[in-house]
Homo-oligomer: A and B are copies of this chain.
Amino acid sequence: MENLHASEALRVVLESVSILGVETVDLKRSLGRVLAESISSNRDLPPYDVSMMDGFAVRSGDVVSAPTQLVIIEDIKAGDMPTKIVRTGQCARIMTGAPIPQGADAVIPVEETHGLSAEIVQIDKTAKSGNYIRPQGDSMKNGEVVLQAGTEITPGVIGVLATVKVAVLSVYRRPRVAILSTGNELEGMSDPVDPNKIPNSNSYALMAQVQALGIEPVLLGIARDDPIELEEFLRRGLEYDVLLVSGGTSVGVHDYVRPTTARLGVQMKFWRVAIRPGHPLAFGITNTSSVFGLPGNPVSSMVCFEEFVLPALRRMMGNQRLYRRTVTARLTHPVRFNPGRTEFIRIYLTRDAAGYIATSTGSQSSGALLSMAKADGLLVVPSDSTGLAEGEQVTVQLLDGAAFQDAIEFRE
Protein backbone atom coordinates (compact mmCIF):
# COMPACT_ATOMS: atom_id res chain seq x y z
CA MET A 1 0.00 0.00 0.00
CA GLU A 2 1.52 3.23 -1.20
CA ASN A 3 1.89 6.29 1.01
CA LEU A 4 1.38 9.34 -1.19
CA HIS A 5 3.54 12.40 -0.63
CA ALA A 6 1.54 15.22 0.98
CA SER A 7 1.93 17.48 -2.04
CA GLU A 8 0.79 14.71 -4.39
CA ALA A 9 -2.24 13.95 -2.19
CA LEU A 10 -3.16 17.62 -2.16
CA ARG A 11 -2.80 17.80 -5.93
CA VAL A 12 -5.14 14.82 -6.34
CA VAL A 13 -7.71 16.37 -3.99
CA LEU A 14 -7.65 19.76 -5.67
CA GLU A 15 -7.89 18.27 -9.16
CA SER A 16 -10.97 16.34 -8.06
CA VAL A 17 -13.00 19.29 -6.84
CA SER A 18 -14.27 22.44 -8.51
CA ILE A 19 -16.64 25.34 -8.04
CA LEU A 20 -20.12 23.99 -7.28
CA GLY A 21 -22.47 26.63 -8.60
CA VAL A 22 -23.85 30.11 -8.18
CA GLU A 23 -26.56 31.55 -5.96
CA THR A 24 -27.72 35.03 -5.03
CA VAL A 25 -27.41 36.51 -1.57
CA ASP A 26 -28.35 39.75 0.10
CA LEU A 27 -25.45 42.16 0.59
CA LYS A 28 -26.00 41.93 4.35
CA ARG A 29 -25.36 38.18 4.26
CA SER A 30 -22.47 38.20 1.80
CA LEU A 31 -19.43 38.56 4.06
CA GLY A 32 -16.84 35.86 3.35
CA ARG A 33 -18.50 34.69 0.14
CA VAL A 34 -16.85 34.91 -3.30
CA LEU A 35 -18.27 37.07 -6.10
CA ALA A 36 -19.53 35.04 -9.06
CA GLU A 37 -20.01 38.14 -11.23
CA SER A 38 -17.98 41.19 -12.06
CA ILE A 39 -19.33 44.43 -10.64
CA SER A 40 -19.23 47.75 -12.49
CA SER A 41 -19.66 51.20 -11.07
CA ASN A 42 -22.98 52.91 -11.69
CA ARG A 43 -21.60 56.41 -11.08
CA ASP A 44 -18.56 58.65 -10.99
CA LEU A 45 -17.26 58.92 -7.48
CA PRO A 46 -16.87 61.57 -6.38
CA PRO A 47 -19.53 62.90 -8.79
CA TYR A 48 -17.70 66.23 -9.08
CA ASP A 49 -14.53 67.78 -7.69
CA VAL A 50 -14.98 67.78 -3.90
CA SER A 51 -13.23 69.17 -0.87
CA MET A 52 -11.14 66.75 1.16
CA MET A 53 -11.31 69.00 4.24
CA ASP A 54 -13.61 71.31 6.16
CA GLY A 55 -12.35 74.76 5.27
CA PHE A 56 -12.52 77.37 2.52
CA ALA A 57 -12.58 76.95 -1.24
CA VAL A 58 -10.26 79.61 -2.71
CA ARG A 59 -8.54 80.68 -5.90
CA SER A 60 -4.92 79.56 -5.45
CA GLY A 61 -3.80 82.75 -7.14
CA ASP A 62 -5.30 84.66 -4.21
CA VAL A 63 -3.22 82.83 -1.61
CA VAL A 64 0.30 82.88 -3.06
CA SER A 65 1.26 84.82 0.06
CA ALA A 66 -0.17 84.49 3.56
CA PRO A 67 -1.81 85.76 5.65
CA THR A 68 -4.48 86.97 3.24
CA GLN A 69 -8.05 88.06 3.88
CA LEU A 70 -10.91 86.81 1.70
CA VAL A 71 -14.63 87.53 1.54
CA ILE A 72 -16.89 84.55 2.25
CA ILE A 73 -19.61 84.48 -0.42
CA GLU A 74 -21.33 81.19 0.36
CA ASP A 75 -21.58 78.19 2.69
CA ILE A 76 -21.38 74.83 0.89
CA LYS A 77 -22.31 71.73 2.85
CA ALA A 78 -21.82 68.18 1.67
CA GLY A 79 -25.00 67.47 -0.30
CA ASP A 80 -25.42 71.14 -1.36
CA MET A 81 -24.62 72.45 -4.81
CA PRO A 82 -22.74 75.80 -5.03
CA THR A 83 -24.83 78.69 -6.36
CA LYS A 84 -22.10 81.30 -6.82
CA ILE A 85 -18.80 81.68 -8.65
CA VAL A 86 -15.74 82.41 -6.51
CA ARG A 87 -14.04 85.50 -7.94
CA THR A 88 -10.76 87.20 -7.04
CA GLY A 89 -10.67 88.08 -3.34
CA GLN A 90 -13.54 85.73 -2.56
CA CYS A 91 -13.92 82.28 -1.08
CA ALA A 92 -16.64 79.84 -0.01
CA ARG A 93 -16.89 78.06 3.30
CA ILE A 94 -16.89 74.37 2.39
CA MET A 95 -17.35 71.04 4.17
CA THR A 96 -15.54 67.79 3.55
CA GLY A 97 -17.16 66.05 0.57
CA ALA A 98 -18.91 69.19 -0.68
CA PRO A 99 -18.53 70.27 -4.34
CA ILE A 100 -15.88 72.83 -5.23
CA PRO A 101 -17.58 75.99 -6.56
CA GLN A 102 -16.71 77.41 -9.96
CA GLY A 103 -13.69 79.70 -9.85
CA ALA A 104 -12.08 77.99 -6.85
CA ASP A 105 -9.19 75.57 -7.42
CA ALA A 106 -7.91 74.89 -3.90
CA VAL A 107 -9.16 74.27 -0.37
CA ILE A 108 -7.63 75.74 2.78
CA PRO A 109 -8.35 73.60 5.86
CA VAL A 110 -10.22 75.45 8.60
CA GLU A 111 -7.28 74.86 10.97
CA GLU A 112 -5.15 77.11 8.72
CA THR A 113 -7.59 80.03 8.89
CA HIS A 114 -8.97 82.58 11.33
CA GLY A 115 -12.51 83.88 11.17
CA LEU A 116 -12.35 87.67 11.36
CA SER A 117 -16.08 88.28 11.02
CA ALA A 118 -19.13 86.47 9.67
CA GLU A 119 -18.05 87.52 6.18
CA ILE A 120 -14.25 87.77 6.29
CA VAL A 121 -11.76 84.97 6.87
CA GLN A 122 -7.99 85.23 7.23
CA ILE A 123 -6.08 82.53 5.34
CA ASP A 124 -2.90 81.73 7.30
CA LYS A 125 -1.12 79.50 4.77
CA THR A 126 -0.56 79.43 1.04
CA ALA A 127 -1.90 76.68 -1.20
CA LYS A 128 -1.27 75.38 -4.70
CA SER A 129 -3.95 74.66 -7.27
CA GLY A 130 -5.66 71.35 -6.47
CA ASN A 131 -4.85 71.58 -2.76
CA TYR A 132 -7.23 69.24 -0.83
CA ILE A 133 -9.44 68.71 -3.88
CA ARG A 134 -10.40 65.21 -4.90
CA PRO A 135 -11.25 65.20 -8.62
CA GLN A 136 -14.47 63.77 -10.10
CA GLY A 137 -14.21 60.01 -10.73
CA ASP A 138 -11.09 59.72 -8.57
CA SER A 139 -12.43 56.70 -6.66
CA MET A 140 -14.44 55.09 -9.44
CA LYS A 141 -15.76 55.93 -12.89
CA ASN A 142 -19.21 55.12 -14.23
CA GLY A 143 -19.19 51.82 -16.16
CA GLU A 144 -15.73 50.78 -14.98
CA VAL A 145 -15.38 47.27 -13.51
CA VAL A 146 -14.60 47.81 -9.84
CA LEU A 147 -14.70 44.19 -8.60
CA GLN A 148 -13.79 41.09 -10.61
CA ALA A 149 -15.62 37.77 -10.34
CA GLY A 150 -13.62 35.65 -7.93
CA THR A 151 -13.13 38.47 -5.42
CA GLU A 152 -13.51 37.37 -1.82
CA ILE A 153 -16.09 39.52 -0.05
CA THR A 154 -14.30 41.32 2.78
CA PRO A 155 -15.66 44.34 4.69
CA GLY A 156 -13.85 46.63 2.21
CA VAL A 157 -15.52 44.83 -0.72
CA ILE A 158 -18.91 45.23 0.99
CA GLY A 159 -18.19 48.94 1.21
CA VAL A 160 -17.57 49.02 -2.55
CA LEU A 161 -20.71 46.95 -3.26
CA ALA A 162 -22.77 49.37 -1.16
CA THR A 163 -21.16 52.27 -2.99
CA VAL A 164 -22.40 50.96 -6.34
CA LYS A 165 -25.67 49.96 -4.62
CA VAL A 166 -25.58 46.23 -5.23
CA ALA A 167 -28.14 44.99 -2.69
CA VAL A 168 -28.29 41.42 -4.04
CA LEU A 169 -25.36 39.67 -5.67
CA SER A 170 -24.23 36.40 -7.27
CA VAL A 171 -21.79 34.35 -5.24
CA TYR A 172 -20.50 30.80 -5.47
CA ARG A 173 -22.59 28.49 -3.35
CA ARG A 174 -21.15 26.79 -0.33
CA PRO A 175 -20.70 23.02 -0.25
CA ARG A 176 -23.17 21.03 1.83
CA VAL A 177 -21.00 19.09 4.25
CA ALA A 178 -21.89 16.00 6.30
CA ILE A 179 -19.78 14.67 9.15
CA LEU A 180 -19.78 11.05 10.29
CA SER A 181 -17.81 9.38 13.05
CA THR A 182 -17.29 5.65 13.10
CA GLY A 183 -16.33 3.13 15.75
CA ASN A 184 -17.80 1.02 18.54
CA GLU A 185 -15.46 2.73 21.00
CA LEU A 186 -17.15 6.12 20.57
CA GLU A 187 -19.43 7.62 23.20
CA GLY A 188 -21.99 10.15 21.96
CA MET A 189 -22.41 13.60 23.51
CA SER A 190 -25.64 12.65 25.29
CA ASP A 191 -24.52 9.14 26.34
CA PRO A 192 -23.55 8.61 30.00
CA VAL A 193 -19.82 8.69 30.70
CA ASP A 194 -18.30 5.23 30.27
CA PRO A 195 -14.59 5.09 31.12
CA ASN A 196 -14.16 2.30 28.59
CA LYS A 197 -15.38 4.50 25.76
CA ILE A 198 -13.85 7.42 23.89
CA PRO A 199 -15.90 10.61 23.67
CA ASN A 200 -16.78 11.53 20.10
CA SER A 201 -14.85 14.78 19.89
CA ASN A 202 -14.03 14.48 16.21
CA SER A 203 -17.49 15.29 14.92
CA TYR A 204 -17.52 18.50 16.93
CA ALA A 205 -13.97 19.61 16.15
CA LEU A 206 -14.62 18.98 12.44
CA MET A 207 -17.96 20.78 12.72
CA ALA A 208 -16.14 23.84 14.10
CA GLN A 209 -13.43 23.68 11.43
CA VAL A 210 -16.17 23.65 8.79
CA GLN A 211 -18.11 26.44 10.55
CA ALA A 212 -14.95 28.57 10.61
CA LEU A 213 -15.14 28.54 6.79
CA GLY A 214 -18.71 29.85 6.93
CA ILE A 215 -20.34 26.47 6.22
CA GLU A 216 -22.92 24.94 8.56
CA PRO A 217 -22.33 21.18 8.40
CA VAL A 218 -24.72 18.36 9.26
CA LEU A 219 -23.63 15.90 11.96
CA LEU A 220 -24.78 12.43 10.95
CA GLY A 221 -23.76 10.88 14.25
CA ILE A 222 -21.82 7.73 15.01
CA ALA A 223 -21.83 4.62 12.82
CA ARG A 224 -21.01 1.45 14.73
CA ASP A 225 -18.63 -1.15 13.33
CA ASP A 226 -21.36 -2.94 11.43
CA PRO A 227 -21.33 -3.16 7.63
CA ILE A 228 -25.07 -2.59 7.23
CA GLU A 229 -25.22 0.37 9.61
CA LEU A 230 -22.10 1.87 8.05
CA GLU A 231 -23.47 1.48 4.53
CA GLU A 232 -26.68 3.21 5.50
CA PHE A 233 -24.78 6.12 7.06
CA LEU A 234 -22.39 6.42 4.13
CA ARG A 235 -25.29 6.36 1.67
CA ARG A 236 -26.88 9.28 3.50
CA GLY A 237 -23.54 11.09 3.68
CA LEU A 238 -22.95 10.76 -0.06
CA GLU A 239 -26.05 12.87 -0.66
CA TYR A 240 -23.94 15.87 0.43
CA ASP A 241 -21.27 17.64 -1.62
CA VAL A 242 -18.64 16.62 0.88
CA LEU A 243 -18.65 13.76 3.38
CA LEU A 244 -16.11 13.71 6.20
CA VAL A 245 -15.78 10.29 7.84
CA SER A 246 -13.52 10.09 10.86
CA GLY A 247 -12.13 6.72 11.87
CA GLY A 248 -12.55 3.48 10.00
CA THR A 249 -9.93 3.90 7.32
CA SER A 250 -7.01 2.05 8.87
CA VAL A 251 -5.75 -1.31 7.65
CA GLY A 252 -7.24 -3.23 10.57
CA VAL A 253 -9.29 -6.35 10.01
CA HIS A 254 -12.39 -4.66 11.37
CA ASP A 255 -12.38 -2.17 8.55
CA TYR A 256 -15.68 -2.22 6.71
CA VAL A 257 -15.22 1.14 5.08
CA ARG A 258 -13.36 -0.04 2.01
CA PRO A 259 -15.78 -2.66 0.72
CA THR A 260 -18.71 -0.45 1.64
CA THR A 261 -17.41 2.57 -0.25
CA ALA A 262 -16.74 0.32 -3.25
CA ARG A 263 -20.34 -0.97 -3.14
CA LEU A 264 -21.60 2.62 -3.02
CA GLY A 265 -19.69 3.54 -6.17
CA VAL A 266 -17.02 5.67 -4.53
CA GLN A 267 -13.90 5.89 -6.65
CA MET A 268 -11.10 5.96 -4.08
CA LYS A 269 -8.13 8.12 -5.11
CA PHE A 270 -5.84 7.24 -2.21
CA TRP A 271 -5.90 5.55 1.19
CA ARG A 272 -2.72 6.69 2.91
CA VAL A 273 -0.55 9.80 2.86
CA ALA A 274 3.01 10.19 4.13
CA ILE A 275 2.24 12.73 6.82
CA ARG A 276 2.46 12.78 10.61
CA PRO A 277 0.05 13.05 12.25
CA GLY A 278 -2.64 11.84 9.87
CA HIS A 279 -1.16 8.87 8.07
CA PRO A 280 -4.40 6.94 7.41
CA LEU A 281 -6.01 9.66 5.28
CA ALA A 282 -8.25 8.49 2.44
CA PHE A 283 -10.00 10.37 -0.35
CA GLY A 284 -12.55 9.32 -2.95
CA ILE A 285 -15.20 10.76 -5.22
CA THR A 286 -18.54 9.94 -6.75
CA ASN A 287 -20.18 11.93 -9.56
CA THR A 288 -21.65 14.33 -7.04
CA SER A 289 -19.69 13.99 -3.84
CA SER A 290 -16.21 13.98 -2.35
CA VAL A 291 -15.41 11.73 0.63
CA PHE A 292 -12.54 12.26 3.02
CA GLY A 293 -11.66 9.34 5.28
CA LEU A 294 -10.00 11.10 8.20
CA PRO A 295 -8.02 9.39 10.96
CA GLY A 296 -9.98 8.51 14.10
CA ASN A 297 -7.38 10.24 16.19
CA PRO A 298 -8.59 13.75 17.12
CA VAL A 299 -5.40 15.67 16.36
CA SER A 300 -4.75 13.71 13.17
CA SER A 301 -8.29 14.36 12.04
CA MET A 302 -7.94 18.11 12.63
CA VAL A 303 -4.55 18.32 10.92
CA CYS A 304 -5.82 16.40 7.88
CA PHE A 305 -8.78 18.77 7.71
CA GLU A 306 -6.45 21.78 7.78
CA GLU A 307 -4.12 20.46 5.11
CA PHE A 308 -6.46 18.70 2.67
CA VAL A 309 -10.14 19.38 3.35
CA LEU A 310 -9.87 23.13 3.92
CA PRO A 311 -8.21 23.90 0.55
CA ALA A 312 -10.77 21.65 -1.19
CA LEU A 313 -13.73 23.41 0.46
CA ARG A 314 -12.26 26.81 -0.38
CA ARG A 315 -11.80 25.79 -4.01
CA MET A 316 -15.45 24.65 -4.17
CA MET A 317 -16.51 28.07 -2.83
CA GLY A 318 -14.51 29.86 -5.54
CA ASN A 319 -11.78 31.20 -3.28
CA GLN A 320 -8.52 31.88 -5.05
CA ARG A 321 -6.45 31.80 -1.89
CA LEU A 322 -6.79 28.20 -0.74
CA TYR A 323 -4.19 27.90 1.99
CA ARG A 324 -3.64 29.15 5.51
CA ARG A 325 -1.56 32.28 5.83
CA THR A 326 2.00 31.41 6.85
CA VAL A 327 4.62 33.34 8.79
CA THR A 328 8.31 32.72 9.22
CA ALA A 329 9.41 32.06 12.79
CA ARG A 330 12.57 31.18 14.69
CA LEU A 331 12.49 27.77 16.34
CA THR A 332 13.27 27.82 20.09
CA HIS A 333 14.33 24.20 20.32
CA PRO A 334 15.81 21.51 18.09
CA VAL A 335 13.47 18.87 16.66
CA ARG A 336 14.52 15.49 15.26
CA PHE A 337 12.57 13.53 12.66
CA ASN A 338 12.67 10.38 10.65
CA PRO A 339 12.58 11.53 7.04
CA GLY A 340 9.90 10.21 4.70
CA ARG A 341 6.83 12.01 6.02
CA THR A 342 5.78 15.62 5.95
CA GLU A 343 5.29 16.54 9.60
CA PHE A 344 3.04 19.09 11.22
CA ILE A 345 4.16 20.29 14.65
CA ARG A 346 1.68 22.23 16.79
CA ILE A 347 3.33 25.42 17.99
CA TYR A 348 2.75 28.61 20.00
CA LEU A 349 3.87 31.88 18.50
CA THR A 350 5.49 34.64 20.50
CA ARG A 351 7.37 37.66 19.26
CA ASP A 352 10.53 39.58 19.96
CA ALA A 353 12.35 42.40 18.16
CA ALA A 354 13.74 39.97 15.57
CA GLY A 355 10.30 38.53 14.67
CA TYR A 356 8.19 35.49 15.43
CA ILE A 357 9.37 32.69 17.71
CA ALA A 358 7.94 29.17 17.36
CA THR A 359 7.74 26.91 20.40
CA SER A 360 6.29 23.41 20.34
CA THR A 361 3.07 23.07 22.35
CA GLY A 362 4.70 20.12 24.07
CA SER A 363 3.44 16.61 23.56
CA GLN A 364 3.17 15.98 19.84
CA SER A 365 1.38 12.73 20.59
CA SER A 366 -1.44 12.53 18.10
CA GLY A 367 -3.83 12.00 21.04
CA ALA A 368 -2.95 15.31 22.66
CA LEU A 369 -5.99 17.29 21.56
CA LEU A 370 -5.16 19.94 24.15
CA SER A 371 -2.05 20.74 22.13
CA MET A 372 -4.30 21.53 19.17
CA ALA A 373 -6.55 23.68 21.36
CA LYS A 374 -3.55 25.72 22.48
CA ALA A 375 -1.74 25.94 19.15
CA ASP A 376 -1.36 29.15 17.17
CA GLY A 377 -0.09 27.33 14.15
CA LEU A 378 1.29 24.27 12.46
CA LEU A 379 4.99 24.12 11.70
CA VAL A 380 5.40 22.35 8.38
CA VAL A 381 8.46 20.08 8.22
CA PRO A 382 9.38 18.92 4.70
CA SER A 383 9.45 15.17 4.18
CA ASP A 384 13.19 15.11 3.48
CA SER A 385 14.12 16.83 6.75
CA THR A 386 15.95 14.83 9.41
CA GLY A 387 15.68 17.58 11.96
CA LEU A 388 15.46 21.29 12.67
CA ALA A 389 18.08 23.15 14.68
CA GLU A 390 17.45 25.63 17.49
CA GLY A 391 17.26 29.10 15.94
CA GLU A 392 16.34 27.79 12.49
CA GLN A 393 13.82 29.82 10.47
CA VAL A 394 10.69 27.72 9.93
CA THR A 395 7.34 28.17 8.16
CA VAL A 396 4.22 28.22 10.36
CA GLN A 397 0.63 28.05 9.12
CA LEU A 398 -1.60 30.29 11.25
CA LEU A 399 -4.64 28.56 12.76
CA ASP A 400 -8.01 30.19 13.50
CA GLY A 401 -7.04 31.35 16.97
CA ALA A 402 -4.00 33.21 15.64
CA ALA A 403 -5.82 35.95 13.72
CA PHE A 404 -5.33 38.27 16.67
CA GLN A 405 -2.43 39.01 19.00
CA ASP A 406 -1.98 40.52 22.43
CA ALA A 407 0.16 43.55 21.62
CA ILE A 408 0.09 46.36 19.11
CA GLU A 409 2.90 48.18 17.40
CA PHE A 410 2.00 51.85 17.21
CA ARG A 411 2.96 52.67 20.78
CA GLU A 412 5.86 54.99 20.00
**Residues on the B chain within 8 Å of A52, using CB:** 365-367
Q: A75, A146, A151, A252: which has the most chain B beta carbons within 10 Å?
A: A252
16 of the cross-chain contacts (CB-CB < 8 Å) are: A7-B410, A47-B195, A47-B198, A75-B253, A77-B254, A79-B186, A156-B302, A156-B401, A159-B202, A160-B373, A164-B199, A307-B410, A322-B406, A323-B405, A324-B405, A383-B412
In the bound complex, do residue A198 and residue B410 qualify as a contact, i.e. CB atoms below 8 Å apart?
A: no
CB proximity to B under 8 Å, residues A197-227: 197-209, 211-212, 225
Report the separation of the CA atoms of residues A48 and B252 in the bound assembly, to the nearest whole angstrom. Answer: 21
Contact of A134 among B111, B209, B367 (CB under 8 A): B367
In the bound complex, do residue B203 and residue A162 qualify as a contact, i.e. CB atoms below 8 Å apart?
A: yes
Report the separation of the CA atoms of residues A104 and B358 in the bound assembly, to the nearest whole angstrom. Answer: 38
In the bound complex, do residue B324 and residue A400 qualify as a contact, i.e. CB atoms below 8 Å apart?
A: no
Contact of A201 among B98, B160, B321 (CB under 8 A): B160
Q: A154, A375, A382: which has the most chain B beta carbons within 10 Å?
A: A154
Asked whether A335 is an interface residue with its Cβ less than 8 Å from the other chain, the reply is no
Report the separation of the CA atoms of residues A322 and B99 in the bound assembly, to the nearest whole angstrom. Answer: 39
Work out how many copies of this chain go into the complex. 2
In the bound complex, do residue B139 and residue A367 qualify as a contact, i.e. CB atoms below 8 Å apart?
A: yes
Per-residue interface assignment for chain A, residues 239 to 272, with 1 indicating a CB less than 8 Å from any chain B CB and 0 otherwise? 0000000000011111000000000000000000
**Residues on the B chain within 8 Å of A367, using CB:** 45-46, 52, 134, 138-139
Asked whether A87 is an interface residue with its Cβ less than 8 Å from the other chain, the reply is no
**Residues on the B chain within 8 Å of A321, using CB:** 404-406
Report the separation of the CA atoms of residues A32 and B406 in the bound assembly, to the nearest whole angstrom. Answer: 16
Report the minimum CB–CB distance from A279 to chain B (whole Å): 9
In the bound complex, do residue A190 and residue B162 qualify as a contact, i.e. CB atoms below 8 Å apart?
A: no
Could you say which of A15-23, A286-294, A325-333 contacts chain B? A325-333
In the bound complex, do residue B79 and residue A403 qualify as a contact, i.e. CB atoms below 8 Å apart?
A: no
Asked whether A297 is an interface residue with its Cβ less than 8 Å from the other chain, the reply is yes
Report the separation of the CA atoms of residues A189 and B183 in the bound assembly, to the nearest whole angstrom. Answer: 53
Asked whether A169 is an interface residue with its Cβ less than 8 Å from the other chain, the reply is no
In the bound complex, do residue A189 and residue B208 qualify as a contact, i.e. CB atoms below 8 Å apart?
A: no
Contact of A409 among B77, B380, B407 (CB under 8 A): B380
* Closest chain B residue, CB of each to CB of A310: B404
Could you say which of A61-69, A89-97, A170-178, A228-236 contacts chain B? A89-97
CB proximity to B under 8 Å, residues A351-387: 355, 363, 365-370, 372-375, 380, 382-384
Once A254-B77, A367-B138 are accepted as A-B contacts, the answer to whether A189 and B162 lie under 8 Å apart by CB is yes
* Closest chain B residue, CB of each to CB of A355: B328
In the bound complex, do residue A212 and residue B401 qualify as a contact, i.e. CB atoms below 8 Å apart?
A: no
Q: A52-B366, A79-B198, A97-B297 are in contact. List 16 more A-B contacts (CB 8 A).
A: A47-B196, A78-B198, A78-B296, A139-B369, A147-B373, A155-B400, A156-B399, A158-B204, A162-B204, A165-B189, A165-B199, A321-B404, A323-B406, A324-B404, A326-B405, A382-B412
Asked whether A131 is an interface residue with its Cβ less than 8 Å from the other chain, the reply is no
In the bound complex, do residue B254 and residue A207 qualify as a contact, i.e. CB atoms below 8 Å apart?
A: no
Report the minimum CB–CB distance from A4 to chain B (whole Å): 12
**Residues on the B chain within 8 Å of A186, using CB:** 79
Contact of A97 among B28, B48, B198, B325 (CB under 8 A): B198
**Residues on the B chain within 8 Å of A111, using CB:** 251
Once A77-B184, A158-B208, A208-B158 are accepted as A-B contacts, the answer to whether A140 and B408 lie under 8 Å apart by CB is no
